[in-house]
Amino acid sequence: MSYRTALSEVLTGVVGPVAEATAVQGRFPRGAVTALGRAGLLGLTVSTEFGGGGGGLPEAADVVARTARLCPATAAVLQSHYTAVAVVEAHGGPWLRAEIAAGRHLASLALAESEEEGAPDGPTAQTQLLVPRSVATRSGEVVALRARKQRVVAAGEADLYVWSSRPLAAPDGLTLWAVPAHAPDLFVPARPGACGPRGSATSTVFADPVRVPAEAMLGADGGGLDIVLRTVLPWLLELRAAAGARRTPVLDPALGPGGTRRPAGSLAAS
């Protein structure tokens, strides 16, 4: 069965019938997410080597666009999930990739940090993706992450957060981590924040601190900035556009650190 056929069945049988209730009641579309996982759509962009669909950004954008016509909340969840999975697919371990491929892991992004509750795609929120305030401290093989992450989609509902922090030892940049949502000392407010479509469970996630294995690092220490610029932003912007969200110039993926424009073709070659 093609992913388009599988998606049509899930949209018709599960997403569509509860879309209005999701928007009105603000209830997270757990049934839709479960159905998407069972249909192989959460693992659509994971390599076939690990049981995934082997798709890429065009297929993910197609899924998001078709879902957004029925349920903006489910589409927002998929935008964050597919973007986070793109990072995991490039830098995560085999077990995690296989779990996502099997539809057992919903991933989300925990990158933005700001004291102000602005629009989720406004300039303040966007620049915070590149300059994390959260601190990472290593003790042996354990890393303690202390942070207040804003505008996290599927907060308290996801199984995994792609999390950013200041580097452990690198002089600049940022570092990314795969943080299990069930890890002790993660706290999500009972009431979701005002950002994001109703039902998307977009809220704040607190870590005071959360402890993860040192091997949970995604990529190199300090190398997360390049991952955000080359992977996170292109995926996030394209998926937002697919869902009908407006593009903004602040996070133009053609811009390098400090706002300098990258040479033509540098992103395509990455």
Q: Give pLDDT, residue 54.
A: 97
Q: Give pLDDT, residue 62.
A: 97
Q: Which of these, 250, 267, 247, lies nearest to 259 by C-alpha position?
A: 250
Angle at the Cα of 189 from the Cα atoms of 185 and 194, rounded to 5 degrees: 140
State how far the Cα of 55 lies from the Cα of 45, in Å rounded to an integer. 4
Contact assessment for residue 243 and residue 79, using Cβ atoms and an 8 Å cutoff: yes
In this structure, the number of other CB atoms found within 10 A of the CB of residue 235 comes to 25
State how far the Cα of 108 lies from the Cα of 131, in Å rounded to an integer. 19
Show pLDDT as tens, one digit a residue, over the chain (270 residues): 899 999 999 999 999 999 998 889 999 999 999 999 999 999 999 999 999 999 999 999 999 999 999 999 999 999 999 999 999 999 999 999 999 999 999 999 999 986 444 444 444 445 666 778 889 999 999 999 999 999 999 999 999 999 999 999 998 899 999 999 988 889 987 666 667 889 999 999 999 899 999 999 999 999 999 999 999 999 999 999 999 853 333 333 333 333 333 443 333 333
Angle at the Cα of 153 from the Cα atoms of 8 and 68, rounded to 5 degrees: 30
State how far the Cα of 201 lies from the Cα of 79, in Å rounded to an integer. 13
Question: What domains are defined for the chain?
Answer: 3-269 (2.40.110.10)
Q: Give pLDDT, residue 194.
A: 61
